[in-house]
Amino acid sequence: MDNLFAELPAGAGAEQFVQLLLRPGLKIERIVSTGQATPPGLWCDQPHGEWVLLLQGEARLAFEDGSCLLRPGDFVDIAPRRRHRVEWTRPGVPTVWLAVHYGAGVGE
């Protein structure tokens, strides 16, 4: 893949993760969501940081201390161990994320 908007999944289905770059301490991936969300009651709690840029679509991220609506161009830096979840992505429209995972243990 040489374009972030190439080979987008057609219609609903499983969330798609495509690894773009992997190096010690760094992983960059494209994520495409089509209405997926984190299951109720489940929180993501990663040992590494994650910087996320929303390229297309819309999504709502929740944190223990609040939430944010992401639209194209919005980004957020999620610190290691900051509990978070995807509350919502727009159904029927590919929501395209660029996720940069960084820190110890990534890419090893």
Instruction: Sketch out the chain's domains with CATH numbers.
Output: 25-102 (2.60.120.10)
The structure's pTM equals 0.91
- pLDDT tens digits for 23-47? 999 999 999 999 999 999 999 999 9
In this prediction, the residues of the chain whose per-residue pLDDT falls under 70 are 1, 11-12
Judged on CB neighbours under 10 Å (0-12, 13-18, 19+), 17 is: exposed
CA atoms within 13 A on the CB side of 93: 12
Measured between alpha carbons, how far is 51 from 101 in angstroms, rounded to an integer?
6
